[in-house]
């Protein structure tokens, strides 16, 4: 696991949401700048963080 969602840093919801939105927003910046590879990498990181930090676990 790359990111531990149980770490105290991720206890607050706004921190988890910000950690998801920042790489997704940067993917948009990279795509607008004409760098599709970097956009894909940042989008993948944002999606990974979304699944890890925002999807509830059983």
Any domain includes 33? yes
* 34 within a domain of the structure (yes/no): yes
Q: Is residue 2 part of a domain?
A: no
User: Could you tell me if residue 20 is inside a domain?
Assistant: yes
Tokens describing residue 47: 């999606």
Judge whether 8 lies within some domain: no
The predicted pLDDT at position 28 comes to: 98
pTM of the model: 0.92
Give how many domains the chain has, as a whole number: 1
Q: How many CA atoms lie within 13 A of 16 on its CB side?
A: 19
Which among 13, 44, 4, 43 is positioned nearest to 26, based on CA atoms?
43
Residue 57 has pLDDT above 90, yes or no: no
Q: The domain containing residue 25 runs over which residues?
A: 14-54
Q: Within a domain: residue 30?
A: yes
Q: What is the pLDDT of residues 10-38, one digit of tens each?
A: 999 999 999 999 999 999 999 999 999 99
pLDDT score recorded for residue 26: 98
């Amino acid at each position: 696991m790359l990111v531990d969602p149980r770490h105290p840093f991720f206890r607050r919801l706004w921190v988890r949401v910000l950690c998801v939105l920042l790489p997704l927003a940067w993917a948009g910046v990279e795509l607008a700048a004409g760098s599709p590879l970097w956009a894909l990498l940042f989008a993948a990181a944002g999606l990974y963080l979304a699944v890890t930090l925002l999807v509830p676990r059983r």
